[in-house]
Structure 1
Amino acid sequence: MPVSATKSLRVAVLADSDTRWKWGALTASRIAGGAAEPTGSGIRLDGYLLRGRATPTARQLREVGVHADSLREVTAVEFLRAMNDKSYDVLVLALVGGGVQAMLHGLRRVWADRAERPVVVTGYVGVVYEKLADGLLLRHGADLVLANSRQDADRFRAVYEGVGADASCVTEVALPFLGGTPYAGEPAPATEPDGRPYTVVFAAQPSVPVSRKDRTYLLDRLIRHARAFPDREVLLKLRSRPGEHTTHIEELPYQKLAQSRELPANFRLVYGHMGEVLDRTDLLVTISSTAALESLHRRIPTVVLTDLGVREMLGNHHFVGSGCLASWDQLDAGHRPEPEPEWVARQGVAADGTYDTAFDAARHRITRLLDRPGGLPPLNPYYTSETAPGYLPGILARHHLGPDGTPLPGAPAADKAPGPVRQIVRRAARGAYRHGVQRVAPVIRRMGEL
């Protein structure tokens, strides 16, 4: 039963990128109202965007397609002030691990004298293939640490129990943005009335692979596939436009690499909502994108490329045993993967029709916590000044917080929207940062390889 069956819940989401905003807002909707869209689902959703290098642009927010009752950009200190002034039932922290840890300590201080506080929820946007222990321990202290699959839930509990931390917070759910119409099979030929071109989609990732050589190779193979199959539509699905940042930094956007190539007529670069692109996809190809799980949920033929090896740094090692690993040579020769049912079942893909119940455990846990007599106990992160005295202070300082979660002197916390001059300076700073990431850093990297 949805948590909001008896009342309208007040929910806040703090996110630091477009993808985490999407995950946080949809997670709030799934665990509170049960619907796929927060608006009108029995909850009031207030969104807060943490100011930083990846703060989403208006275009990125529109592309995500998730709406909130209110949405504003804040610093960490401004957010803590808002949490002191406002009351919520549920707070979703959709941040990198260090951001979650800083907010947990700051909120512990803010709510120290309160009889009641919100249920605090956090988790991961997609596949967890690196920094498992580090990321998990930075998230410890939230009331619910969401695991997107049975496999992740088992791994998360093992890490917490292995360091002597409370593992009861780990709650198995699924990715909140799965859904869409199941794949109906290959389309009729485009020459027929209801026909359309067979569509191959490559889901690009901002940070995988890193090198110009590898990204150029993937682009060239995709172009070669388009030329080899002129009756197909071949799409390069991009996450962001040049100059924008998402969860990960993209030094070499595919858009720029494509500018120096003659592209075939059936090859296009596309943006937009991943779900809408999957509506017309007949074959999804990627290195290790979470889009693979979205595709598998719909039973669309899905390939995780092995051309660059099966390596932890690429994230495609996560798909070992999936039945989806293949190379471009195999695809060009007509190979179509068959996913392994047992592997798929452990990944939270819920292609068997159980997706509607995937969030029941989280809903029931939140209901129990909200109904707890006397309110909730103080937040209790694993990292403290006693357990991590050489690590925690630096994490907190990056968000202008002292070792006890108190704002440091001079911490940015404006009481009103920035004026025109401040906005210009901020835009210039972000532009300089993007220039350094996308222009200067690649040059230095290439010089280091000489």
Structure 2
Amino acid sequence: MPVSATKTLRVAVLADSDTRWKWGALTANRIAPGNPGNPENPDIRLDGYLLRGRATPTARQLEEVGVRADALHEVTAVQFLHAMREEPYDVLVLALVGGGVQAMLHGLGRVWQDGPAGRPKRPVVVTGYVGVVYEKLADGLLLRHGADLVLANSRQDADRFRTVYEGVGADAGSVTEVALPFLGGAAHTGEHDPYTVVFAAQPSVPESRKDRTYLLNRLIEHARRHPEREVLLKLRSKPGEHTTHIEELPYQKLAQRFDPPANFRLVYGHMGEVLDRTDLLVTISSTAALESLHRRIPTVVLTDLGVREALGNHHFVGSGCLASWDQLDAGHRPVPDEEWVSRQGVATGGSYATAFDAARARVAGLLDRPGGLPPLAPYYTPVTAPGYLPGLLARHHLGPDGTPLPGAPAADKEPGPVRQIVRRAARGAYRHGVQRVAPVIRRMGEL
């Protein structure tokens, strides 16, 4: 009988933000052999590790994500590597930025090479992307190379990923097509009362005060033009919190300068719950657009600021969803291109239930591999990238060979109460600097 079918699997997820924790935990549940397709897989034990940094999720953000773990720890990179030396996990999901994935691959390679002799097997290592991949394709992919599975959220991404790996002579066998793990919910079947328009905001797109103020003004004006509608601004985080990207100019602060009508509101919470009452989803390039399309909700990707790589809305060329606020105010409703939607892993025809079958089968096969798995083999090594790799590793207090640098935080020691207070204060000061001081300095520089 296969190993994967004889016991509860132990799965670990290392994440560096709330959105990556959501992706990593849901992915772990969907790809682990056991109860297929269940986003709360009862056949695994899920341990979460939150990488300490500027975007470490708050308790409120974790509650909003709504994904439960059997244990949850906040760790440094070195502390995490120590845990991986001691804990016999079956599957490890690295839900990190590319540089973090690369550092952990090298650190883990060293840990498992020098690990306990009585534990010859290492976990299956999985990584991927939280949403749409519209920038730094080659850079991000090569930083993720070396994992056993590099997940692609669509057929289009899988093809692109393999092309990049094969183009540099790297093994492309790790690329595995899946779908976004958080798609779901009931399909949109008719308009609500009141008709509800939702703008899904993004922390870093667009960046400038002018552009963000423009979008907010158009949303509020849409509410004034249509008093019979409910118009919602869906926000990712509250002031002082960070998510995957830094938000220097929160819409909450910009909204204080407006006098919006009564049918305009700011909302937080789980995106799926907001989509339950949405009749029109509007965004610049948020992954929420794919969630909305999956549920057949009319979806608009705005062109007001142009169709540009810097905005990410170029990814939606050919989708049938591109439109402007002027068109929406005039009553335009987009009709998505079904072929484009299918290529993006948005399985509206019922195939979503099988989207993770291939990944689940690959994980099961690797778990049952006689003699265990070979050492991790990233494309970047001190030979292939001697001027790049050491800096990536040093950011996580690792040397060029993956071992902790002198002075790295102790792996077996939790900070005392005073240090915890200082750490929280430092994190708050950083966020204050990003959201208050940095914009002022930038404006002064433009004078």
**TM above 0.5, one fold?**
yes
Looking at structure 1, the residues matched to 236 and 410 of structure 2 have their Cα atoms a distance apart, in angstroms, of 31
Structure 1 residues 4 and 115: alpha-carbon distance in aligned structure 2, compared to 1, 3 A threshold: closer
Structure-2 residue corresponding to 1:265: 262
1:37 Cα offset (Å): 3.5
Q: Which residue is equivalent to 1:184?
A: 189
Q: Equivalences for 1:22-41 in 2 at 5 Å?
A: 22-32=22-32, 33-38=35-40, 41=42
CA distance in 2 between counterparts of 1:223 and 1:396 reads: 46
Kindly state the Cα deviation for residue 436 of structure 1 after the two structures are TM-superposed: 1.2
1:321 corresponding residue in structure 2:
318
Do residues 16 (structure 1) and 16 (structure 2) align?
Answer: yes
Partner of residue 198 from structure 2, selected from 195, 198, 201: 201
Q: Deviations over 1:294-353 (max 9, x none)?
A: 000000000000000000000000000000000000000000000001100000011111
Distance in 2 (CA, whole Å) between partners of 1:343 and 1:261 is: 38
CA distance in 2, matches of 1:23, 1:6: 27
Task: State the SS of the aligned residue for 2:327.
Answer: helix
Equivalence map 1:232-271=2 (5 Å)? 232-271=229-268
Q: What is the rounded CA distance, in whole Å, between the counterparts of 1:6 and 1:355 in structure 2?
A: 27
2:10, 2:64 → 1: CA distance?
25
- Are residue 349 (structure 1) and residue 350 (structure 2) matched? no
* Equivalent-residue separation in structure 2 for 1:358 and 1:35 (angstroms): 9
1:191 alignment partner in structure 2: none
Q: How far 1:8 moved relative to its partner? A: 1.4
Question: Is residue 336 of structure 2 the alignment partner of residue 339 of structure 1?
Answer: yes
Counterpart CA distance in 2 for 1:259 and 1:437 is 19
Aligned position for 1:61: 62
User: Higher mean Cα deviation, 437-446 or 316-325?
Assistant: 437-446
Distance in 2 separating the partners of 1:245 and 1:293? 22
Distance 1:138 1:444 in 2: 33
For normalisation by structure 2, the TM-score amounts to 0.97
Identity %: 86
CA distance in 2, matches of 1:394, 1:438: 27
> Structure 1 residue 213 and structure 2 residue 218: aligned?
no
SS in 2 for 1:111: helix
Q: Which digits, 9 at most, give the CA deviation of each residue in 1:204-229, with x for residues without a partner?
A: 00000000000000000000000000
| Segment drifting more, 24-33 vs 112-121 | 112-121
**1:146 — aligned with what?**
151
Partner residue of 1:131 out of 136, 160, 169: 136
Cα distance in 2 between the residues matched to 1:65 and 1:435: 27
Tell me the secondary structure at the aligned position of residue 72 of structure 1: strand
State the partner residue of 1:192: none
Change (3 A) 1:294 1:303: same
Mapped partners of 1:6, 1:336: distance in 2: 51
Aligned pair count? 440
Aligned counterpart, 1:89: 90
How much does 1:448 deviate? 2.8
Aligned AA for 2:129? Y
1:401 aligns with 2:398: yes
Quote the residue 1:193 is aligned against. none
Change (3 A) 1:353 1:331: same
What letter corresponds to residue 34 of structure 1 in structure 2?
P
8 Å Cα contact 1:322/1:340 also seen in 2: yes
- Displacement after TM superposition at 1:6 (Å): 4.2
Matched, 1:156 2:161: yes
- Per the TM alignment, residue 263 of structure 1 is displaced from its structure 2 partner at its CA by 1.4
- 1:447 positional shift: 2.3
> 1:346-378 deviations in whole A, cap 9, x for unaligned?
000111110000001101111111111110000
1:40-55 alignment to 2 at 5 Å?
41-55=42-56
Contact map agreement 1:121 1:142 (CA 8 A) in 2: yes
Deviation digits for residues 43-77 of structure 1, max 9, x if unmatched?
00000000000000000000000000000100000
1:387 paired residue among 368, 384, 388: 384
Match of 2:111 in 1: 110
Instruction: Look up the SS of the partner of 1:433 in the other structure.
Output: helix
Distance 2:165 2:436 in 1: 41
Kindly indicate whether the alpha-carbon contact (under 8 Å) linking 1:37 and 1:66 is maintained by their aligned counterparts in 2: no
Q: TM-score, normalised by structure 1?
A: 0.96
Q: Separation in 2 of the partners of 1:250 and 1:36?
A: 33
Matches within 5 A, 1:306-317: 306-317=303-314
How far is the alpha carbon of 1:414 from its aligned partner?
5.0
Contact map agreement 2:3 2:367 (CA 8 A) in 1: no
Are the aligned partners of 2:61 and 2:237 in contact in 1 as well (CA < 8 Å)? yes
CA contact (8 A) 2:49 2:75 kept: yes
The 8 Å contact of residues 303 and 324 in structure 1, kept in 2 or not, is answered as: yes
Which runs of 5 or more residues in structure 1 are unaligned? 188-195
